[in-house]
Structure 1
């Protein structure tokens, strides 16, 4: 390492030295430990995939950064780029090696005191060099690790710290990360020191800092009720001095005011170099329990190490909630002996502003948004998250599902039939780290060991080419489940599966390897209908009636800049651009109807709380973003569906008008949809009261066929709550060209652009939508060539079957123009009538015969008379199915 040492010396003269503030150098009054945050003064150099540069740092071109830091910026919105942080020009998806350098001052050594470097995370792998010596490595991208650097640090002087991190994709040929989970997944593993770094100094006798990144002191509530609670303790005391030491180990439980309510002590003699595990217990009378969001009461557990003479050698405080948790196949999640329904969200650790290097304030903002929605639980996906979110969950009363990064794949070669030993070891490390670092948190309910490892040969292409031979995941899962049970038997082992009972071929049934499961189900998005969700869950329950069941993911993409007049007007593109916000709202309404009555579920977690970065998606109005979040990537926009759950899950007074971002309206009448948890909700438009609805089902209030006027329309929904009145107000615009006419792009959920404004398919009853274009998932559509039209995109979609269009119109005479295109039928195979209010206007109509060829536009113009305020256009089959590509209606003057 002479090259590294020379580089360190060369940079020492110009480096930014982290000057130690006096208040940080001073010993904390509560503990002899000293903690020196290493946040500033870092320099960074990205070698990336340059193999030569990755061997050692460069001598120049270093960027000054602060830690937490990641060089990656992933995902950007296509619309209005000036309003967003990320753009196509500013994203950085480089995977490879990055070097960090810091020159920091270490306090003067106190006797035989110890020094540890503490990294809350380094991705994916890390090599740590201090003063020219390799002092440690780490291969878990998501967990805290500590390195004893006592023999390498310069006490009372300046230290040169280098950290080499590598986030190369594991499947890259020759990658040093080949055995570091995850192998793949619908998220991007960033690189960097993306969580804090500190120097920690202790006395020679101290609590263990090398126990898988944990605090070295652990507590578990064995039993608790209103009368008493029993708490089991484990305290790991280490003697790093050169002689035996007599010590007194104490644990004291303090209430929120700092009053001692229970205590225990033990005496030990520690041999030189000995690590002793000291068990103990506490009994608490009349405990105040941690009761979720209703009362997330936290005590403090204070652990102290003292010498036989009474000198305080070390002290560690841990927030601790007294509670019991269990899962039941009939009653669901049980908190402190009573059913407690878990409703929550999945959560990734990124945002648009800082990506994975989120600040504690940004994490708290995210948790506050989640809690405001009414969620009482979070699934921390798909890897171990940091301490800030766990601390906040304890404080807010949010129940957590923790899990490791075993996602989709557990081999790194396409022909492997067994999991490589390196991946097994890495999975075991991730389990051990996760439990050690988070087991003291009251909020953590379950340990998750895998996500969607049951795709079998049906793994989606966008997650990487499926293996030639699918290795059996069950031996690995059984090993990990056994490791969890032997480490922390107080919490269930769980996993999330995707594919059982869905008719897929060769799907491994992994549920029996764990205590309880979650099902990732996307009925109504990737397959089926939302109405299929409940029966599928019932089937899984019937198959294993003794195993607790939850739904761990369900969701739909939603672009807040794309809007439809009717979410059922045409197909969405689950892997492409056609993802209007209104469809996701409908999806969540229908899905919750399936989930709400199934109280046997031990939890429901929708996907996802926030849009998040992933390099496998090009969908909605975004690039490299999964748009299933209820809130935008930058946290600035709460989509309509967010308020559906807020109205259903929370007591927060909620009145929210849907479609608020659909400002320029296509039609002069619209259904107004409001999410409200008020007993009575009133709608006014342009100052006129439309009506009041009471106790709307599932908090969804709908006023159909509300008329809009030309120009500005002010829509107000209001309600009275015990806390006072609440109203929501939006302004919609209707252009003069849309007044007195309807132009319907049949079969389209998003209206195509044309020389005049069309709306998406609406006002229909019956039939189904179709498209003449090919729409491969995740790739641009392949347009059909349609002859005889200047409006190809309008002509390409259609409605077919036996169906009606029922349009609210003033009485009078109207011109009706109907656009037809025959996709594939021969003459005589598709014949139908068109009736206007029961009167035939086209009889025995054959598009193929009339146009002379398939994929050729034919427009027919008829007249119709409206009486009674409705024009009913009936497309009635004679042979085959009726069809229409566009309906245009305008008044005859």
Structure 2
């Protein structure tokens, strides 16, 4: 009996391992940082005083609060050497930056990768596969928060802190995969155009990378909060075209601030034999809402008074380099004070913030 139990445990571990189709890890630790301009940042012999930092990071944590006018707006550099794990044959390797303020240039092993990313509040990703080598790979990022007449906003009621102030992820996929370098956006677009107590409709638009030859499908599986399968659909994909799936479910559990119920949508790319090439998971909440000039706001047909506040992403001693823990605590404070509404100021927020917000925890 004990041997049977051990065998079952081994099989469970093996199945769990094989289900890890996409490799994603946060690489926030052990970065070197230099504030200022560098004529040759790749010169190993140059005497540069690099400082060890952890991302999220900003170079304006102190000068924004001192008694001097202004704060540093200029160039700074980050670098890190790492060995890329070999996960798949012919794997594709990406770096995803949740944000860097406000112009970012990426170099891998001394070679520029892609165009500069302009804008300090949006996620961006770069395919670094062709720039990699065996062994250690030097990742270098130049970030510049200088005033730039070509970048908006020009001025605001908040400070333009410089730095890689949100997470950096290493993502490794198979050659066939949902897009990663999709301007940094999620490649799975989930919409709920029709929702009622009786039924809900879901449409899913997927951006994927696949060869011209071969037959591949996108499979969408919707699970309840306790991981029970509700619906599964599959549709054939076409080369260089977005894939579309749609389906409906009956009697959906509705999302609201009081009961923030979330389903899980698992999106997969599969072939005829059922082999899985990529997998992405997204939360899905079903609700409908409307504003009426006489009755006010309602959600799921229930009149609801909006009680909330506005929140900027900054914190004492950290500038805008706010940790996931602080995001979670801010949402908890809002919930504890009885809020059911939040204005997110004027900039896009982190993935962790959105996860906390839709769970309202």
CA 1:96–1:287: 2 relative to 1, 3 Å: same
| SS of aligned partner of 2:32 | strand
From 177, 180, 193, the counterpart of 2:164: 193
Q: Could you tell me which of 55, 60, 70 is aligned with 2:58? A: 70
Q: Which residue of 1 aligns with 2:89?
A: 111
Residue in structure 2 matched with residue 342 of structure 1 by the alignment:
306
Q: Which residue of 1 aligns with 2:77?
A: 99
Within the candidate set 23, 31, 46, 1:34 is matched to: 23
Tell me if 1:366 matches 2:330. Answer: yes
User: 1:772 — aligned with what?
Assistant: none
Aligned partners of 1:245 and 1:269 also within 8 Å:
no
Give the drift of 1:211. Answer: 2.2
Residues 99 and 122, structure 2, Cα contact 8 Å, conserved in 1 = yes
Superposed displacement of residue 257, structure 1: 0.6
* Residue of structure 1 aligned with 2:234, choices 265, 271, 275: 265
Match of 1:150 among 119, 122, 129: 129
Tell me: CA distance 1:133–1:75, structure 2 relative to 1, closer, same or farther (3 Å): closer
Superposed CA offset, 1:111-138 (max 9, x none): 2221111001011110000111110220
After superposition, give the CA deviation of every residue in 1:124-162 in whole Å (9 maximum; x if it has no partner).
1100001111102201201110011111122x5211111
C-alpha change, 1:267 and 1:190, in structure 2 (3 Å) is: same
Q: For the structure 1 residues 266 and 63, does the alpha-carbon distance in structure 2 shift closer, same or farther, using more than 3 Å as the test? A: same
- State which of 227, 233, 249 in structure 1 corresponds to 2:204: 233
Q: Is the 8 A contact 1:73 1:93 kept in 2?
A: no
TM superposition shift of 1:233: 1.3
Once the two structures are TM-superposed, the CA of residue 87 in structure 1 deviates from its matched residue by 6.0
SS of the aligned residue for 1:301 comes to: strand
The aligned residue for residue 192 of structure 2 is: 221
**Superposition map of 1:628-647 within 5 A:** none
CA distance in 1, matches of 2:83, 2:289: 46
Q: Distance in 1 between matches of 2:40 and 2:150?
A: 23
For 1:546-577, what per-residue CA distance to the aligned partner results, in whole angstroms no more than 9, with x for missing partners?
A: xxxxxxxxxxxxxxxxxxxxxxxxxxxxxxxx
- Judged with a 3 Å threshold, the aligned counterparts in structure 2 of structure 1 residues 276 and 342 are, in CA distance, closer, same or farther, namely same
Query: Is it true that 1:287 corresponds to 2:258 in the alignment?
Result: no
> For the aligned residues, what is the CA RMSD?
2.1
CA separation of 1:340 and 1:130: change in aligned 2, threshold 3 A: same
Q: What is the alpha-carbon distance in structure 1 between the residues aligned to residue 17 and residue 73 of structure 2?
A: 40
Greater C-alpha Rg? 1
How many residue pairs get aligned? The number is 341
Counterpart residue number, 1:246: 215
Q: Does 1:382 align with 2:353?
A: no
Q: Deviations over 1:78-104 (max 9, x none)?
A: xxxxxxxx6659x99211001001101
Tell me the equivalent position of 1:139: 118
Distance of 1:334 and 1:212 partners within structure 2: 34
CA separation in 1, counterparts of 2:224 and 2:180? 26
Q: Secondary structure at the match of 1:151?
A: helix
The 2-side partners of 1:74 and 1:43 are apart by 19
CA apart distance, 1:250: 0.6
Q: Is the 8 A contact 1:73 1:92 kept in 2?
A: no
Residue number in structure 2 paired with 1:60: 48
Higher RCO, 1 vs 2 (CA within 8 Å, ≥6 residues apart):
2
- Structure 1 residues 405-443: Cα deviation after superposition (integer angstroms, max 9, x where no partner): xxxxxxxxxxxxxxxxxxxxxxxxxxxxxxxxxxxxxxx
Cα contact 2:63–2:72 (8 A) shared by 1 = no
Contact 1:123–1:142 (8 Å) recurs in 2: yes
Structure 1 residues 328 and 112: CA distance shift in structure 2, 3 A: farther
Query: How far apart are the structure 2 equivalents of 1:92 and 1:358?
Result: 22
Query: Which residue number in structure 2 is paired with residue 303 of structure 1?
Result: 267
Distance 1:269 1:184 in 2: 45
Q: Aligned partners of 1:35, 1:93: CA distance in 2, in Å?
A: 35
C-alpha contact 2:190 2:203 (8 A) present in aligned 1: yes
Equivalent position of 2:179 in the other structure = 208
Indicate if the aligned counterparts of 1:222 and 1:324 stay in contact, CA closer than 8 A. no
**Residue 35 (structure 2) aligned to one of 46, 64, 70:** 46
Deviation at 1:74, TM superposition (A): 5.4
Cα distance change of structure 1 residues 325 and 245 upon mapping to structure 2, 3 Å threshold? farther
Confirm or deny that 1:276 pairs with 2:241.
Answer: yes
SS of the residue 2:242 aligns to? strand
Using structure 2 for the length normalisation, give the TM-score. 0.89
> For residues 744-783 of structure 1, what are the alpha-carbon distances to aligned partners after superposition, in whole Å with 9 as ceiling and x for unaligned?
xxxxxxxxxxxxxxxxxxxxxxxxxxxxxxxxxxxxxxxx
Deviation at 1:384, TM superposition (A): 1.2
In structure 2, how many angstroms separate the alpha carbons of the residues matched to 1:332 and 1:130? Answer: 54
Task: After TM superposition, list the pairs within 5 Å mapping 1:438-453 onto structure 2.
Answer: none
Q: Say whether the 8 Å CA contact 1:71–1:92 is kept in structure 2.
A: no
Q: Are residues 1:180 and 2:151 paired?
A: yes
**2:332 match: secondary structure:** helix
Question: Alpha carbons of 1:385 and 1:56: their partners in 2 closer, same or farther (altered >3 Å)?
Answer: farther
Deviation at 1:307, TM superposition (A): 2.1
1:220-619 counterparts in 2 under 5 A?
220-239=191-210, 241=211, 244-270=213-239, 275-292=240-257, 294-396=258-360
- The answer (yes or no) to whether the contact 2:200–2:248 under 8 Å persists in 1 is yes
1:495 equivalent in structure 2: none
Contact conserved, 2:94 with 2:181, CA < 8 A, in 1?
no
Q: Is the 8 A contact 1:221 1:324 kept in 2?
A: no
- Structure 2 matches for 1:601-750, cutoff 5 A? none
Contact 1:254–1:261, Cα closer than 8 Å, also in 2: yes
Change (3 A) 1:106 1:223: same
Note the residue ranges of structure 2 that are not aligned, 5 or more in a row.
1-15
In the TM superposition, residue 285 of structure 1 has moved relative to its aligned partner by: 0.8
